[in-house]
């Protein structure tokens, strides 16, 4: 199925959860935050939260800043 992540369209397996998505993207779990359709999904829910077709996923990460 197709989802958008940070405005880029990607194909993922049906019934993927957020944790599986981050692993697939090779993205660090630490220092990351996720919103699905503008709603922040808490880290404790990542392993259970099943993504759906056309979900808009935003992935945020800690970067250097003042």
Partner 1 sequence: MNHDQLVIAGKAFNSRLFTGTGKFNDQKTMVAALQASGSELVTMALKRIDMQHKEDDILAPLIKNGMNLLPNTSGARNAKEAIFAAELAREALQTNWIKLEIHPDPKYLLPDPIETLKAAETLANKGFVVLPYVHADPVLCKHLEAAGCAAVMPLGAPIGSNKGIKTAEFLEIIIEQANIPVIVDAGLGAPSHAALAMEMGADAVLVNTAMAVADDPIAMSGAFAKAVQAGREAYLAGLGGQSQVAIASSPLTAFLEAG
Within a 13 Å sphere around the CA of 3, how many CA atoms are in the beta-carbon half? 23
Looking at the Cβ atoms of 1 and 45, the one nearer to partner 1 is: 45
User: Could you say which of 50, 54, 56, 61 contacts partner 1 (CB under 8 A)?
Assistant: 61
Give whole-number Cα distances, 27 to 22, 43, 53, 54, 57, in Å. Answer: 5, 14, 21, 20, 14
For residues 41 and 17, the answer to whether their CB atoms sit within 8 Å is no
Convert residues 31-60 into a mask of x (bound to partner 1 by CB under 8 A) and - (unbound): xxxxx----x-xx--------------xxx
Q: Which is nearer to partner 1, 14 or 63 (CB)?
A: 63
* Positions in the binding site for partner 1 (CB under 8 A): 5-6, 8, 25, 27-28, 30-35, 40, 42-43, 58-66
């Amino acid at each position: 199925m197709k989802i958008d992540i940070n405005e880029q369209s990607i194909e993922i397996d049906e019934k993927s959860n957020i944790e599986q998505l981050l692993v697939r993207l090779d993205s660090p779990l630490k220092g990351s935050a996720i919103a699905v359709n503008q709603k922040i999904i808490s880290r404790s829910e990542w392993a259970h939260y099943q993504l759906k077709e056309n979900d808009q996923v935003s992935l945020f990460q800690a970067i250097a800043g003042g």
